[in-house]
Structure 1
Amino acid sequence: MIRESARSLQPLARPRLYEQLVERLLDHMTEQGLGPGDRLPAERELAGLLGVSRASVVQALVALEVQGVIDVRHGDGAVIREVPADRQVLHALRARWHRLREVIEARQALEVRIAALAARRRTDADLVRIDEAVAAMAADVDGGGRGVRGDEQFHAAVTTAAHSGLLGTLMGEISELIRESRIESLSQPGRPAESLAAHRLVVEAIRAQDADAAARTMAEHIDAVSDVALLQDPD
């Protein structure tokens, strides 16, 4: 008698397109003898060579970036950091797909509360640090960048302003996982400017010491940035 729940007979998972592209790009690096400091072709060129949309290429590059294989630099394109000797990158990417959902849930639970506390407890010095982070992100985005560093500084400054040791520790423990989702989110077309505008709304609420508004605007911000391509398949 065959048990209906037998795992060995479950449908096979179809590789997502970006996973296939990651594998192709890794093959390209190996075949061409590329190494640290070398550049991959431009996104548009890769899309034409691979016969896919540019959005799919961006998704694959972001996946490689968060795994430390490449750096995507404004004006320089994708620069190789290291070429992995095996294909553990693909296993890590599949695990990351499931982990990302949990990271988003953690952010929704923690950062909304942190924003409310920051509005109640912030000091003038806290506001200076938050404003500096927003200004840094604005300068990067205005220059055509993604604002990743400024975004990270903003959320760190808001967390500090909450003056909660335990919440700060919890955020620190998942900071590297949040960084992955941050890069993924800010790589979406138009997302850096949208995120910057949302940050400014959160700042207004914290400055006014309006805890309800701070919580609401942070919740809306986290919901918006959680709409990432990794949880979809554009092609």
Structure 2
Amino acid sequence: MSDALRPMTARPRLYEQVLDRLRAYVAESGLGPGDRLPPERELAQRLGVSRASVKQAIVVLEVQGLVEVRHGGGTYLVRGSLEAEPVEALMERRRRLPDVLEAREALETKLAELAAERRTPDDLAALRSALDHMAEEVRAGGHGIEGDRRFHAAVTAAAHSALLAEFMRSIAEQITESRNESLRQPGRPRRSLAQHRAILDAIDAQQPGKAAAAMRRHVRTVAKVRLLEWNPDPSDDQDAT
């Protein structure tokens, strides 16, 4: 049978081609952490594509934690390479993220409420230790990811609900993804740290309603991630001519 009519592969979208060019540019130029990429307008002109396609590529790199976009100040490398997960994997994470965040809000709001009712002195000590660990990470310029993980684990333990804890374990991998997506955003680690303190204060004071409300506010902040704002609309992938 002729091979001429074999299934065709889809042409990569322009922003995906821009990603490939940017990865090659960083590698060939020897750029490292803290170095700045050319402005979007210049990249669009040099690559012969629209600024929309360049912006889409930059958003992909940003949500992957590979670049930092400083409003009015340009785009800077976080690491010495732009190699990361394929765009297809990124889109799959984007697809499932809303369900994960919805589950987090339902479960963790109830866990915070129960923690305020049931916490022990040992639970409070674990919560404070996790908060201190996150504060140290943030002071050192990190994202506070391990401290965040410890804090939410301590809230779960303080609720003393085996069934809810099992539910949390069942989505642990997806929660880790949402944590990483959230805490990589500029300013988010310090804001999360402050929200954790509010949650702890309510649990310490044995105020279930306030603890639940504080946790709900926190998880809704976590839900505001760039990955969910990314919309790889094919209409954006038009050449600039």
Query: Do Structure 1 and Structure 2 share a fold, with TM-score over 0.5?
Result: yes
Tell me how far apart the structure 1 counterparts of residues 97 and 182 of structure 2 sit (CA, whole Å).
11
Tell me how far apart the structure 2 counterparts of residues 141 and 204 of structure 1 sit (CA, whole Å).
20
> Does the alignment pair 1:125 with 2:125?
no
CA deviation digits over 1:52-106, x for unaligned, max 9?
A: 79x97774345446xxxx7x9xxx932669877xxxx222111111111111101
Tell me how far apart the structure 2 counterparts of residues 163 and 62 of structure 1 sit (CA, whole Å).
38
In 2, are the aligned partners of 1:205 and 1:214 still within 8 Å (CA)?
Answer: yes
> Does the alignment pair 1:203 with 2:200?
yes
Aligned partner of 1:60 in structure 2 is: 60
Which amino acid is the alignment partner of residue 199 of structure 2? V
In the superposition, relative to structure 1, how do residues 185 and 47 fare at CA in structure 2: closer, same or farther (>3 Å)? farther
In 2, are the aligned partners of 1:39 and 1:77 still within 8 Å (CA)?
Answer: no
User: Among 41, 44, 47, which residue is 2:36 paired with?
Assistant: 44
Aligned partner of 2:79 in structure 1 is: 78
User: Among 216, 225, 229, which residue is 1:232 paired with?
Assistant: 229
Aligned partner of 2:9 in structure 1 is: none
> Does the alignment pair 1:152 with 2:153?
no
In 2, are the aligned partners of 1:119 and 1:210 still within 8 Å (CA)?
Answer: yes
In 2, are the aligned partners of 1:148 and 1:186 still within 8 Å (CA)?
Answer: yes
What SS class does the counterpart of residue 116 from structure 2 fall into?
A: helix
Deviation, structure 1 residue 45? 2.5
Aligned partner of 2:100 in structure 1 is: 103
Aligned partner of 1:214 in structure 2 is: 211
Deviation, structure 1 residue 147? 0.8
Aligned partner of 2:71 in structure 1 is: none
Which amino acid is the alignment partner of residue 228 of structure 2? L
Aligned partner of 2:174 in structure 1 is: 177
> Does the alignment pair 1:187 with 2:184?
yes
In 2, are the aligned partners of 1:114 and 1:162 still within 8 Å (CA)?
Answer: yes
Answer with 24-33 or 181-190: which moved more.
24-33
User: Among 139, 143, 146, which residue is 2:140 paired with?
Assistant: 143
Tell me how far apart the structure 1 counterparts of residues 185 and 56 of structure 2 sit (CA, whole Å).
11
What SS class does the counterpart of residue 156 from structure 1 fall into?
A: helix
Which amino acid is the alignment partner of residue 142 of structure 2? G
Q: Any stretches of 5+ residues in structure 2 without a counterpart?
A: 1-11, 45-50, 69-76, 237-241
In the superposition, relative to structure 1, how do residues 63 and 134 fare at CA in structure 2: closer, same or farther (>3 Å)? same
Aligned partner of 1:10 in structure 2 is: none
CA deviation digits over 1:113-144, x for unaligned, max 9?
A: 00001111111111111101111111111222
Which amino acid is the alignment partner of residue 89 of structure 2? A
CA deviation digits over 1:156-177, x for unaligned, max 9?
A: 1111111111111111111111
Q: TM-score, normalised by structure 2?
A: 0.70
Tell me how far apart the structure 1 counterparts of residues 133 and 90 of structure 2 sit (CA, whole Å).
30
Tell me how far apart the structure 1 counterparts of residues 35 and 105 of structure 2 sit (CA, whole Å).
32
Percent sequence identity over aligned pairs: 41
Q: Any stretches of 5+ residues in structure 1 without a counterpart?
A: 1-13
In the superposition, relative to structure 1, how do residues 191 and 120 fare at CA in structure 2: closer, same or farther (>3 Å)? same
Which amino acid is the alignment partner of residue 128 of structure 1? A
Aligned partner of 2:5 in structure 1 is: none
Structure whose alpha-carbon radius of gyration is higher: 2
Tell me how far apart the structure 2 counterparts of residues 211 and 96 of structure 1 sit (CA, whole Å).
33
What SS class does the counterpart of residue 78 from structure 1 fall into?
A: coil
